[in-house]
Amino acid sequence: MPKRKVETGEVKAKKRKVHQDEEEATVDTSKPSAVFQPSGGRSWTLSVALPGSVVANAKSHEQKTFLAGQIARALAVFCVDEIVIFDDEDTPTQQRRPEIAETDYTAFSHPDHFLAHLLSYLETPPHLRRALFPMHPNLRTAGTLPSLDMPHHLRANELCEYREGVTVRAAPAGPGNGTLVDVGLSNHVTVSDDIPPGTRVTVHLQEQSSTAAAETVAPNVPREEKGYYWGYSVRQCSSLSDIWTECPFKGGYDVSIGTSERGKPLGKVLSRSPFRDSSLLGFKHVLLVFGGVAGLEKAAKNDVNLYEHGIGEKNVKELFDAWVNVLPGQGSRTIRTEEAIWLGLMGLRPFVEQLGKPAPVPLPPSDGPESESESDQSSSSDGRFSPVKIRGIWA
């Protein structure tokens, strides 16, 4: 059959690949396709620290709640394992605050407590919230926030060998025969331990059935043994220095990164040794610290412990292995903390992805030493971190 002549101005149809129509017809966009897939056990952790004062600047309850939701979304998206909320106010200001009762509304009187309360609520799987979080004024608009939809927020029909649950009561046979746990399935599962009612537990199921054998495990087991991202823990500190002194990890944080508009560009810091060779260093616990409206300088100035060790607002960067600017050349006069969290975690992503991977082939030596302006002041001559002052302070 002869080809038809294409008239002037007529658009010639592009040739389609074989089966292209069939493939496009089978694409289901009604459900998310980026479901988290574990790729083996993960021993390292990523922690974020920020002051509770970030919500103090919001004018209304709704704004404070929305801000907490933005922070929680960033933590979930980037698989943060720990969020530390520290108080950057001075001691007299902290002492003037009233004591907190269990049912007190704290959005304006105790911003640290309010933020921790919201973040803990959002991290909890939806089927456990009613049992673990009674009605509270802090949470009155939390239901309007977007879901975090993390891997441990499982539906009843989703399969996973681990589940989060809440203890209900002792097994029917009585004390000593285990505890019933609600894990979001059609029936409660029984674990051998005797645990008080209303306790959140992580359960390992032998089979995906409420009648199958189950056992309680530590919350870090799904991450360490299988590589699941299993949510974040929430920790409160009364000062900047308590981030390190109260660290729950044995040996503390391997590398601490502070953020400031007066720091070095994050991309430039991560492109140099030792960050570019992170798999060679065996990092276990990485910490990223953000300041409030007045920056980390204010937190250092108000920290009595740091003052006793000669660290204040002028040399706060000595606390960290790196002092970085997450977005040099910003178009706005200021970057809000909730925005800096997204920028910082995105910029840190290439470094974090190298943790736990096999050591790469060593790079060939450079033609000459780096200039002083390009070298990392906290790294030693062999490219590894040298003990910064923080190590001596907390020893």
Compute the chain's Rg from CA coordinates: 25
- CATH code at position 282: 3.40.1280.10
- 138 and 236, same domain (yes or no): yes
- 145 and 166, same domain (yes or no): no
Is 96 within the bounds of a domain?
yes
pTM passes above 0.85: no
Q: Give tens-digit pLDDT for 329-359.
A: 888 888 899 999 999 999 999 888 887 665 5
In whole angstroms, give the CA distance from residue 229 to residue 222: 8
Q: Give tens-digit pLDDT for 22-56.
A: 555 566 666 666 667 777 888 899 999 999 999 99
In whole angstroms, give the CA distance from residue 354 to residue 266: 16
In whole angstroms, give the CA distance from residue 395 to residue 392: 5
In whole angstroms, give the CA distance from residue 315 to residue 72: 30
Range of the domain at 204: 162-221
Q: What is the pLDDT of residue 381?
A: 35
Q: What is the pLDDT of residue 232?
A: 98
Q: Give tens-digit pLDDT for 203-233.
A: 999 876 656 678 999 999 999 999 999 999 9
Helices assigned H by DSSP within 171-309: 221, 242-245, 266-270, 278-281, 295-301, 304-308
Pick 4 or 162 by higher pLDDT.
162
- 244 and 285, same domain (yes or no): yes
Is 73 within the bounds of a domain?
yes
Q: Which of 129-133, 212-216, 253-257, 301-305 has the lowest mean pLDDT?
A: 212-216
- 241 and 335, same domain (yes or no): yes
Is 72 within the bounds of a domain?
yes
Give the rounded percent of residues in the chain with a pLDDT score beyond 90. 55
In the chain, the number of structural domains is: 2
Tell whether the torsion through CA atoms of 67, 70, 76 and 78 is positive or negative: negative
Pick 266 or 12 by higher pLDDT.
266
Quickly tell me which residue has 């199958």 as its tokens.
212
- 144 and 256, same domain (yes or no): yes
